[in-house]
Amino acid sequence: MQKPFIAKILFLIVILSGVTTAYAQEVEKNPQTHELTEQEDSEKKSKIQEYINHHLLDSYDFTFFSDEEAGKHYGFPLPVIIFDDGLKVFSSSKFHHGETVAEVDGNHYKLYHSKIYKTNAAGDINYDEEGHATNDKPLDFSITKNVVTMVLVSILMFFLFRALATSYKKNKSIPKGVGRFLEPLVLFVRDEIAIPNIGENKYKKYMSFLLTIFFFIWFLNLLGMTPLGVNVTGNIAVTFGLALITFLITTFTANKNYWAHIFWMPGVPKLMRIVLAPIELLGMFIKPFSLMIRLYANMTAGHVVLMSIIALMFIFKNWLGSSLSFGLAFGLAILELLVAALQAYIFTMLSALYFGMANEESH
């Protein structure tokens, strides 16, 4: 049973050796062509890295694809809202994807590294000794790509759950349509996350938040897998906001036993209570911080790895490397679909766990 497999491996090694030898001979015959090829590969890698960074960062417009030779970008601009000597509202098309300087009411603004800086008509950017831009930055309240995506997901969730609630009323608690897909997930959040971690007597007041956070993160993660180029949960400001809400709910709904456990832990010697109090107090902030970093790091890493593997198809110049890259990217994309749901589950489960700790009864 093993001989055919070993024979295939040996045959593959022979083929790869032949390809490598032929390539080495070609390099010796045409060294100048090889140097040009290396330069082209370097430029291609730089463009790929720039594209990956562009995908990970937020932007002031939606760009579906671009034609570099023609200098055209296909998408639509978004409104820029800044406060600099008064409120200023204009279209992001004035930046022309960071290539031009926007003039508004006599002031000039430039888009530099996905941030808006105040500059002159020439678009000059000043730097300090460490290479950081020193130009003034106006207060930015712009509706960016991530903001639009979150609004769209919020609207989608509103209509989906409104349809589910309407279906329950009309069909005697039997959902129909999209409700048949949502109901098992709602019951999963209730029976597998909320009740075990919070308790059957107190879970109901947290269910609205837990359901919202689960579907909100899950839908955003799924949109991040589409060619739209959105990476909302890979933005640390978004994950910070979600973790902050969990922290505030935990803090303001906690009972006296929760605070007694932090500042005067029962069941331990008094000297140890004094030592443990600052540690427990620090733990209050470490928990939401871990929520923020876990979601941000996992989703960002997934996007970087997946897009890097896809980029290998354009770097390899033979059918074998491109085929392997495509197969690996396809398998990783399937895995990322599972990760999208898993990260939503973990964030919701840990939030429920913190709520349960905040409402724990004295023993």
SS3 assignment for 225-282: CCCCCCCCCCCHHHHHHHHHHHHHHHHHCCCHHHHHHHHCCCCCCHHHHHHHHHHHHH
pLDDT value of position 8: 47
CA distance 151 to 161: 16
Which pairing describes strands 79-83 and 139-140: parallel, antiparallel, or unpaired?
A: antiparallel
- Return the bridge partners of 119, or none: 108
With 50 as the cut, is the pLDDT of residue 35 above it?
no
Which pairing describes strands 102-104 and 115-119: parallel, antiparallel, or unpaired?
A: unpaired
- pLDDT digits over 103-116, tens only? 888 888 988 877 88
Report which of 353, 361, 335 is spatially closest to residue 225, judged by C-alpha positions.
335
- Return the bridge partners of 49, or none: none
Q: Which amino acid is at 280?
A: E
- Report residue 22's pLDDT band, with 50, 70 and 90 as the boundaries: very low
With 90 as the cut, is the pLDDT of residue 157 above it?
yes
pLDDT value of position 355: 94
Report which of 124, 6, 13, 44 is spatially closest to residue 315, judged by C-alpha positions.
44
Which tops the pLDDT comparison, 336 or 207? 207
pLDDT value of position 179: 78
Mean pLDDT of the chain: 80
Which tops the pLDDT comparison, 237 or 3? 237
pLDDT value of position 33: 47
Which tops the pLDDT comparison, 292 or 99? 292
pLDDT value of position 241: 94
User: 3-state DSSP call for residue 110?
Assistant: strand
Which tops the pLDDT comparison, 19 or 264? 264
CA distance 62 to 169: 39
With 90 as the cut, is the pLDDT of residue 177 above it?
no
Distances (CA, A) of 354 to 13, 192, 252, 287: 55, 15, 12, 8
Give mean pLDDT, residues 87-91: 88
With 80 as the cut, is the pLDDT of residue 295 above it?
yes
**Contact call for residues 231 and 56 (beta carbons, < 8 A):** yes
Q: Per-domain residue ranges for the chain?
A: 59-140, 145-358
- Lowest-confidence range among 193-197, 222-226, 237-241, 303-307? 303-307
pLDDT value of position 246: 95
User: 3-state DSSP call for residue 113?
Assistant: coil
**Contact call for residues 198 and 352 (beta carbons, < 8 A):** yes
Give mean pLDDT, residues 220-239: 86
Most confidently modeled of 9-18, 69-78, 344-353? Answer: 344-353
- Report residue 225's pLDDT band, with 50, 70 and 90 as the boundaries: confident
Query: pTM of the prediction?
Result: 0.80
CA distance 205 to 214: 16
pLDDT value of position 247: 95
In angstroms, how far is CA 22 from the centroid of its own chain? 43
Kindly state the percentage of the chain with pLDDT values over 90: 25
In the structure encoding, which two tokens stand for residue 102, read together? 């926007």
Give mean pLDDT, residues 141-164: 91
Give mean pLDDT, residues 185-212: 93
pLDDT value of position 21: 47
- Report residue 344's pLDDT band, with 50, 70 and 90 as the boundaries: very high
CA distance 159 to 151: 13
In angstroms, how far is CA 183 from the centroid of its own chain? 26
Give mean pLDDT, residues 263-280: 81
Place of tokens 């004035």: 94
- Lowest-confidence range among 6-15, 171-180, 236-245, 258-267? 6-15
